[in-house]
Amino acid sequence: MDFNGEDDQNKLKQFLQMLDGRKGERHAVVMQDFPDPDAISCAWAYRQIVATLGIETDLVYGGRISHQENLALVNLLKIGLTAIPSDQPLDKNRYQGSVFVDNQGTTTNLVDRLEKNGVPVLAIIDHHAQQDRLQPLFVDIRPVGACASIMTSYLALGAMNLAASNLKHKHLATALLHGILSETNSMIQAQPMDFLAAAHLQPFFDNDMLVEILHQQRSHRGMEVIRMALENREIREGFCISGVGYLRASDRDSIPQAADFLLTEETVHTAIVFGIVTHATGEEVISGSLRTTKSALNPDEFIKEGLGRATTGAFYGGGKASAGGFEIPLGFLSGSEDEELSKMKWETFNAKIRKKFFGSIGVEMPR
């Protein structure tokens, strides 16, 4: 088995056709607001591929990078990313197209701002369940373990030939392999295409650098969030649900880390951790992560059925084979200088989210 299947070749052909005639353009390569290694590596791969065609790029996200491993990835490999906070205006004429990698516009606040500026959506490259939020010219959504495997297939089929002697290629291969490993739980949940991609990258990656990226210590705040998740957890029929209160945006990546940790407890097959994340602008969102080892559970369906849609019609969250996430903007309910009101707000949403998810599995909330 290799990447020479008809479907793989057709997708690459369509991808290159979408790029044809776009020399001189600048594209916004959009990651989720809190980008992970898979998204970062895919965005970087897109940048390097289209650079050979004379296309410039900004790798953009609307939130922050706070996970130690993700910071190490960006800093060690010198990946140039651009944060665009919600209070920062977009240059109306800067981009001639947008490309969404490892997301479909439902996990980034940049969608509406790009649409308002009339920036056309050129492509979606993703491995999550289809969301139907955007109408791009090119779509490549496949049920594989990592989006990085899709980008690697483009490289393997000739979109850009990697060379072991090229330091930039070596760093890209390292980033893509890291993305695959992080998304597939070190290949435990990998699909055949993920193994093919890893095999293609093997001759080019920097082993020492990958080891350094993978072995980052947790921050003190990250450990505190895990402690709160342990203290506040409720376990019913293998589901562990925990709320961790208010977090700064810079600590948001502690939520999935806490979910990963709770999943290691005996008798737990699914962990959900959530909190209210406060941005520098004062905006607040309920942000949550789901992790599961239960093969019969579809995280995408579970989250969508549990939380439903916003008034815009968009789902509050979604997922893939073993993980999912959700964000619920609090809008005018954001912020409060009154400590008692803030406490009441948290208690209300904490109870509501728990009731939603416990209700989805047919379990009554403890009184």
CA distance 69 to 295: 27
Return the DSSP state at 278. E
- Look at residue 28 in the predicted model and tell me its pLDDT: 98
The residues that bridge with 315 in the sheet, in sequence order, are 309
Report the C-alpha gap between 6 and 232 in whole angstroms: 50
Other beta carbons within 10 Å of 306 = 21
pLDDT of residue 364: 72
What number of residues does the chain have? 367
Closest CA to 112 of 268, 337, 310, 365: 310
pLDDT at 25 (0 to 100):
98
d(CA 91, CA 113): 10
CATH class, range 6-214: alpha beta
The model's pTM is 0.81
Q: Show pLDDT as tens, one digit a residue, over the chain (367 residues).
A: 577 788 899 999 999 999 999 999 999 999 999 999 999 999 999 999 999 999 999 999 998 888 889 999 999 999 999 999 888 888 889 999 999 999 998 888 899 999 999 999 999 999 988 888 899 999 999 999 999 999 999 999 999 999 999 999 999 999 999 999 999 989 988 999 999 999 999 999 999 999 999 988 778 888 999 999 999 999 999 999 999 999 998 888 899 999 999 999 999 999 999 999 998 888 899 999 999 999 889 998 999 999 988 877 778 888 877 888 999 999 888 887 788 889 999 999 999 999 999 998 887 765 5
CATH number for region 221-360: 3.10.310
Note the pLDDT of residue 185.
Answer: 85
What are the distances in angstroms from CA 179 to CA 70, 135, 148, 171, 183?
10, 26, 6, 12, 6
Q: 352: which residues sit within 8 A by CB, 6+ positions away?
A: none
Distance from C-alpha of 297 to C-alpha of 318, rounded to nearest angstrom: 13
Domains 6-214 and 221-360 share a fold: no
Provide the residue ranges of all domains of the chain, joining segments of one domain with +.
Answer: 6-214, 221-360
**Per-residue pLDDT at 367:** 56
Give Cα 181 to chain centroid, integer Å.
14
